[in-house]
Amino acid sequence: MPIIIRARSDDHTGDLIKKFKKIIAATNIIQIVKDRKYYQKPSELRTVRMNELRRMRKRVHNLKKLKNIPAPRPVVRRVRPDHHEFMD
């Protein structure tokens, strides 16, 4: 999906660059590109995701112990198995 920033007559170049950077940061594009720079095995991806979930659950647990505040919900990413994992 292309990112389009329209310039108004009163916008300066610096303002447009700031808007572009904010949009890029909000869409998390830089992190996605960095993650895809090198190949990661599916088992490594699964391990990273499970560690993220563990970390989030631990954080939620610790927040609940501190105060009676609503805890953030963990992000659940489903890992889809490859076809050839189950083939003999």
What average pLDDT score do residues 5-27 get? 88
Give percent above pLDDT 90 in the chain: 28
Residues in the chain: 88
Query: What's the pLDDT tens digit per position in 39-53?
Result: 999 999 999 999 999
Q: In whole angstroms, give the CA distance from residue 26 to residue 9.
A: 25
Q: In whole angstroms, give the CA distance from residue 88 to residue 76.
A: 30
Choose among 20, 18, 16, 15: nearest CA to 2: 20
Query: What's the pLDDT tens digit per position in 59-79?
Result: 888 887 777 666 567 667 666
